[in-house]
A = this chain, B = another copy of it.
Amino acid sequence: MAGRPRSFDRDTALAAAIELFWRAGYEKASIAMLTQAMGVTPPSLYAAFGDKDRLFEEASTRYFERTCEAVDAAAAEPTARQAIARMLDSTARAHTDTDTPLGCLMLTEPRLASQREVLHERLARRITRGVTDGDLPASVRPEQLASFLVAVMRGMSGCARDGGTTDEVLAIAEAALAAVPQP
């Protein structure tokens, strides 16, 4: 028994929701704005995604998955230092990319602390590997360096949202790299 088919593409609508949450944040992105951006009426939105919380959950999860791909790509660099350099560089460019909202949803949204914790874990793991690989000194404390990097990227996101240029955010990344000890 099939009913009337959905008149919109769920993935496309979710992408529009991600874009709006990213640009405006969870609180300021109202249902009215979301329905307009997604090209969907409120009842359709609630039928397809549940309530606003669950829509945000799904949107932020998909956003996080995409972010993790970039993190993994950077982590694949041969040395931990190169991995960190690439992550900082790509982060700076992504945060000021004019094709997307400024900054980073995961690093900005207050309610996404758990995602930031996962990011912190991944960074700490890559740094730990760098220590065991010998391309970082044994004195490095992975948890501390990971916390520092999350803080810096968060600051880069805020700088981008304040209107900082790509060069300005890249300069932050470059300065941060100086805090990563060499072997």
Contact = CB atoms under 8 A, between A and B. Distances in A.
A99 interface: no
A56 interface: no
- Interface size on A, as a range, is 35 or more
B155 A152 contact: yes
A87 to B, nearest CB: 15
A168 B155 contact: no
Please state the number of chain copies in the assembly: 2
Interface of A: 27-28, 107, 110, 113, 116-117, 141, 143-145, 147-148, 150-156, 158-159, 161-164, 168, 171-172, 174-179, 181
Given A28-B27, A178-B178, A178-B181, A172 B159 contact: no
Contact of A175 (B117, B158, B179): B179
B144 A151 contact: no
B110 A174 contact: no
10 contacts: A27-B28, A116-B162, A117-B162, A144-B172, A147-B164, A148-B175, A152-B155, A153-B155, A154-B158, A178-B178
A148 B162 contact: no
A76 B157 CA distance: 30
A161 B116 CA distance: 12
A147 to B, nearest CB: 5
